[in-house]
Amino acid sequence: MEDQDQHSGDTGQPELSLYLLARALGEALTANQVAAAAFDHALRKLGAVTAGLWLLGEDDVIRMTASVGPDSELWVEAVGDIPLSSDLPAALVVRTGTIVSYSSIEERDARWPALQGVAGSPAVVVLPLSARARQFGCMHIGWPSAGVATFPPDSSVLSALAELCAGAVDRARLYEAERRGRRTLEFLHQGTRLMVSALEPDEIVRALVRMAVPQLAPWCAVYVADGDRLERVAVEVSGDPELSELLMTSGPVHVDADVPLAEAYRTSRPLLLPEVRPEHVVGTYPADHAKLLLSLGGGQWSGMVVPVQAGGRSIGVMSLLSPEWKGTPPSEVRFAAEGLAGRAGMAMHIARRYRAQVDNVALLSAALLPERLPTLPGLRLAARYVPAGGGVCGDWYEAELLPDGQVLVGIGDASGHGIPAAAMMAQVRNAARALAVAGISPGRMLDHLSALVLGGQPESMVTALYGVLDPATGGGTWANAGHPPPVLVGPDGSAATVALPPGPPIGSVDRPYAETALELPVGTRLVLYTDGLFERRGEDPGLGIDRLVKQAAAAGGGEDELADTLMQSRPETTDDGCVLVIGR
């Protein structure tokens, strides 16, 4: 296309050049593409050898964003970023919207002494770039010589070209902003999905730093308030796990300390650090760690500290550092960081409430189940209990010495999980203990329990297996309310289910429960269990019981080892699990 454009200019067809220029600018999606289009289709024909686009940042600093020609990079190296308040040509043009030009290096150096010794084109025109009634940058164009009598070229032609380029750059910036915005929203959506799935505060913090590095910055640290201190709970340095681990050993930061971390925590407002100074680091890390950090990134770090909030108050802070921001972080980074910290705060608040709830229900579970298994001559007992949700459930076991010297043993399962199931379990278990203490036999006990459940919560389903044993002889009376059959493990390691006539679940119908006599010979072990130890979704329960029988037969050791083996071998399930092993 370049050859075609050059040819059209040579044959007196300027309209074709304008068409190609307009098309190239219309297709440009970056500032570099805009600069290249303007140079190839217009400026080259005017004898220019260099061009550059300088754009104003949110921090009121003008930076070269795109360049064409050999002198542009030399200019950037010598001049660098230009504050808007500077008296250099680019700043003057952006502030005033006027065109600035000079026709020789001598003229330039006389007007702007700060540019003495800077390489560049001897003849330059700097034009303003504006769109939507706002000056947002400038365009410089350089010629190799000022010996042309018509220099500078017709300003109306250059102004029209700058106007076209400004529109193209503005469209490119809008496109890039939209693309960054979509990427930021996708990032925050990913953060939301990740954090709402975590129920442990430590998991949330680790997820936070994993997401922030390197997508937002190459450095992230998270601190959580603990009394009057900010405890460092996660540090991630991109590509340097050893440094991350080293910094985790640093001590906490006091909330009253005169450092950005503590200030952001106290004020609950984000804090931007255009330059990370030694006092910021020394007040946060031990001296040896601070010295190491200040040497990284060429010592040119910028940072931001974002409060992590929940329930309208700060519960910690997140700090981000980068050597690439050159001042303040881009707006999309700030937006993403604040959004990520907000989501983390909400998730941590929920996780803490969940953890408190789990602790409470764990205490409730301990209160509902036997405090300890009784020590009885002639019997050895082992029990294990695993709630599906990590807290309280409707499964229970029973082993209690009765006033007459006999022992009440049993196991049960109230349908459902959590507090409702636990409440039903507590009601049935406590009623069973009271009935047993009163001398009621297991069959009659289940009769009374069924009447109790039918009269209270008829929609509840409860299965149970109870026995009253004589520890001296191993003999006892048993009754079953819809519960899986116990497994008897012989002295030789053989195992089989025990045929106890199963009655209906407690509370399902009002009819008597049969009682069965069963004796435990010396050397045998009887295993009582709930369906969480064998049941798999979609599988015939009989297959699961057969599998549990084989596991019991293969398990070695005593009662505790048998209980552990069965509990550890249970299938992946969302159901509660409970096992009681009775040995003679």
* DSSP calls for 436-485: HHTT--HHHHHHHHHHHHHHH-TT--EEEEEEEE-TTT-EEEEEEESPPP
Are 198-357 and 369-583 equal in CATH topology?
A: no
- Contact criterion met (CB below 8 Å) for 412 and 462: yes
SS3 (DSSP) at 509: coil
Phi, psi of 56 (to 5 degrees): -85, 125
What pLDDT is attached to residue 344? 78
- Residues 6 or more apart whose CB falls under 8 angstroms from that of 367 comprise none
Is 212 strand, coil or helix? helix
Q: Which residues of the chain have pLDDT under 50?
A: 1-14, 16
Q: Are strands 502-503 and 475-481 parallel, antiparallel or unpaired?
A: parallel
CATH 3.30.450.40 fits 198-357, yes or no: yes
Print burial letters for 189-204: b (CB count within 10 Å at least 16), e (below 16): eebbebbeebbebebb
Which CA distances in Å does 354 have to 68, 96, 347, 359, 361? 59, 59, 10, 9, 10
Dig out the tokens for 246 from the structure. Answer: 């080293």
Please state the domain extents for the chain.
2-176, 198-357, 369-583
Residue 403 tokens, joined: 């006033």
197 contacts 300 by C-beta, under 8 angstroms: no
Instruction: Give the type of residue at 373.
Output: L
Assigned token pair, 174: 């809008």
Q: What is the pTM of this model?
A: 0.48
Domain 2-176 annotated CATH 3.40.50.20: no
**CATH of span 369-583:** 3.60.40.10
Task: Give residue for tokens 């010297």.
Answer: 405
Map 362-417 to HEC letters: HHHHHHHCCCCCCCECCEEEEEEEECCCCCCEEEEEEEEECCCCCEEEEEEEEEEE
- Which of 384, 403, 443 lies closest to 570 in space, CA to CA? 384
Q: What angle do CA 521, 527, 530 make, to 5 degrees?
A: 155
pLDDT tens readout for residues 208-263: 788 888 888 888 888 888 889 998 888 888 888 888 888 888 888 899 999 899 99
pLDDT at 444: 94
Residues near 13 by Cβ (< 8 Å), separated by ≥ 6? none
User: Cα-atom radius of gyration of the chain, to the nearest Å?
Assistant: 39
The strand pairing partners of 142, in sequence order, are 50, 124
Calpha distance 533→144 (Å, rounded): 86
**Cα–chain-centroid distance for residue 154?**
58
